[in-house]
Structure 1
């Protein structure tokens, strides 16, 4: 029996003390029935909203510090600014902070969680506005039933039942990891999700994210495929790390606001670099059929059936049309598995270095490395965390 199986066995033995029932959770927040507010009209807030709706609870408002959102609606829920909470909902409203956080939220009771607090800047702002009852949405991860069958991205709260169902694959991935630090990170993420969310995950500086050159050598002929180009930030790091030396760059970004920022960044680059850039306003996907897309016009835009627009998609295999890629990076808000599927031919033929986010959906934790190994059995798999348990990347080398 390996260490992963031991963790699952410990979870089985301690499950009664670790888990609260759905009914317990409902009772804790049902007293705020008409005064339930969600802070953060972003991807985590949207995911939590749909978890609530599934059990028959509806928040009265979204709160968001971005004043450009005031008066608008997010999924049918009106958005107000925090300074209006007491005026509209009263000081005794319950505000659930829906921001993905690496903070520690392990509390044994609802009262304790309300007392301890969370995001300092957000909590301070809400308390200054007169709010008395504030809690992080991560407190509710103790209710495993609530987070079953996740539909949208809530990386701070895992589907524990799904992990139990796939514990053998999780154990296999642990054995494949190529160094002790990867194994340590993997083990602690699993313990964090199942046993103890006060654990510190060994964390690297975010400046190194996607470009861990300790695993492989720099090269001047890189063909870099950047899935989730955002505003050009990853390409900027790539250029800095490689002294502007590369053969070709493909940048894919479907969000229109992010795309415009990306184009402004491109226009500022030297002409000799721009000539080697191929920028594509499409989402990386498994096919070219298009998807529904939820644009947040910043970080976090994601593919979803509740998306307000259709965006074009392209598979990496179709985009390259048999040509080489040497480096593929993916951080695309839960679409990594589909994009990897669309790159299967390229990965099998050219074995590019891979840097793929593994945290947006619960099953990404084991499915991303499983897909890497399925496509190229000779890949070495590494894992590094960049924000405790909620931002980690698998590297295939």
Structure 2
């Protein structure tokens, strides 16, 4: 198989079959490493070093900083935001798409630096826009990140594809975990994206609400809900909207000090009868009790990281909830999900709570997290649902059979 041909969309219903995984893994790892190094240059040729960055937001600025670090100065930003036109962002001029195309359309590659959570954008939108403006070369920044991994990777679920091939055995095992065809299909397209960056085959978000897909399970008024990564209380608010009369308990963990203040402010707005049912803690779920370095941004992107300036307390849920039996645990904690689950093993084994776990923060969480959960309990059925575009807000739902909707039991 010609590895480079995999870079063009060619996805069919055959991908619904387990045998498609074998097809994806048919390349030898040396050819995969060669492809990841060369694909950007092949897609951008002959303009590999003549770059216009389309999108001057956070990802565009990260890309600009990284390119400068390796000695490449882009020609300009292009952006759809008219308020930025002819302004400077980090020392680089921002042009309208029309002006950028007129000036550079036939002598530069337009590297699309729009890819992030909470967006309705897809790569196809910008590709079509620039093609109509007669731009010759349009490439996602993800291919550029493959070319310069030391500078840019890992970036959320984006990492080098040869790392996927190194875990082929576990990836194939994880395929059999999913309980329905929709989940198996989603697993395959997510896997394919990690291997060949096939944006066009990725599913659109499901209509069901993130963390609470009512087509799979229903909530109980007596649920004991544990919210790891509670942010400003937005998930608790969503949870309570599904409850006509809540009789259970909510335990929320949020280690970012600014977010914790927002969370406290939200709880203070609740009726007294509900406030008494909510406990908020300035802690991070972890595998063991320990001090953690933390980058506190006051946003949804606050993260445990060795470069963080703040020191916070990490605690295993098994210890924290020693006298509590949770029935529903949600984790959206910016890549710390696997570590936190290691500290929740006893709860999972003994209580089998519903689990809503984000899988999009790290490349290998797509298979490592469901495999871990499967190894801990046989009581679960597993579902995979995308709640955002292009790999973002991807959730694994591990649901005990007794909590499933009848059609899944």
TM-score range, shorter chain: 0.7 to 0.9
3-state SS in 2 of match to 1:348: helix
The question of 1:332 aligning with 2:361 is answered: no
What is the CA–CA distance in structure 2 between the aligned matches of 1:396 and 1:364, rounded to whole Å? Answer: 14
Of 379, 391, 394, 1:392 maps to 394
Query: In the TM superposition, what is the alpha-carbon distance from 1:324 to its structure 2 partner?
Result: 0.8
Aligned residue for 2:173? 172
Aligned residue for 1:197? 199
- Kept in 2, the 8 Å contact 1:186–1:383? The answer is yes
Q: Name the CA shift for 1:382/1:23 in 2 (closer, same or farther; >3 Å).
A: closer
Within-5 A mapping of 1:370-389: 370-389=371-390
Aligned residue for 1:121? none
- Kept in 2, the 8 Å contact 1:223–1:246? The answer is no
Aligned residue for 1:140? 143
The question of 1:39 aligning with 2:56 is answered: yes
Query: In the TM superposition, what is the alpha-carbon distance from 1:190 to its structure 2 partner?
Result: 2.1
3-state SS in 1 of match to 2:189: helix
Within-5 A mapping of 1:196-345: 196-205=198-207, 208-345=209-346
Aligned residue for 2:182? 181
Q: Name the CA shift for 1:50/1:166 in 2 (closer, same or farther; >3 Å).
A: farther
- Kept in 2, the 8 Å contact 1:174–1:186? The answer is yes
> CA offsets per residue over residues 46-66 of structure 1, 9 Å max, x none?
5x679768967688999999x
More displaced 10-residue stretch of structure 1: 263-272 or 294-303: 294-303
Aligned residue for 2:100? none
TM-score, L = length of structure 1: 0.74
- Kept in 1, the 8 Å contact 2:16–2:188? The answer is no
Q: Name the CA shift for 1:30/1:200 in 2 (closer, same or farther; >3 Å).
A: closer
3-state SS in 2 of match to 1:381: strand
Q: Name the CA shift for 1:11/1:32 in 2 (closer, same or farther; >3 Å).
A: same
Q: Name the CA shift for 1:259/1:58 in 2 (closer, same or farther; >3 Å).
A: farther
Query: In the TM superposition, what is the alpha-carbon distance from 1:309 to its structure 2 partner?
Result: 2.0
The question of 1:9 aligning with 2:23 is answered: yes
Aligned residue for 1:105? 123
Q: Name the CA shift for 1:377/1:324 in 2 (closer, same or farther; >3 Å).
A: same
Query: In the TM superposition, what is the alpha-carbon distance from 1:326 to its structure 2 partner?
Result: 0.6
Give 5+ residue unaligned stretches, structure 1: 68-76, 84-90, 118-126
What is the CA–CA distance in structure 2 between the aligned matches of 1:154 and 1:266, rounded to whole Å? Answer: 30
What is the CA–CA distance in structure 1 between the aligned matches of 2:218 and 2:36, rounded to whole Å? Answer: 50
Q: Name the CA shift for 1:376/1:54 in 2 (closer, same or farther; >3 Å).
A: farther
> CA offsets per residue over residues 15-42 of structure 1, 9 Å max, x none?
9799855367479787359x98983337
Aligned residue for 2:7? none
3-state SS in 2 of match to 1:393: strand
What is the CA–CA distance in structure 1 between the aligned matches of 2:263 and 2:136, rounded to whole Å? Answer: 40
- Kept in 1, the 8 Å contact 2:16–2:185? The answer is no
Query: In the TM superposition, what is the alpha-carbon distance from 1:9 to its structure 2 partner?
Result: 2.4
3-state SS in 2 of match to 1:333: coil
Tell me the C-alpha RMSD between the 2 structures: 4.4
What is the CA–CA distance in structure 1 between the aligned matches of 2:315 and 2:159, rounded to whole Å? Answer: 29
Give the length in aligned residue pairs.
363
Q: Name the CA shift for 1:246/1:204 in 2 (closer, same or farther; >3 Å).
A: farther
What is the CA–CA distance in structure 2 between the aligned matches of 1:332 and 1:4, rounded to whole Å? Answer: 31
Give 5+ residue unaligned stretches, structure 2: 1-14, 84-88, 96-102, 400-409
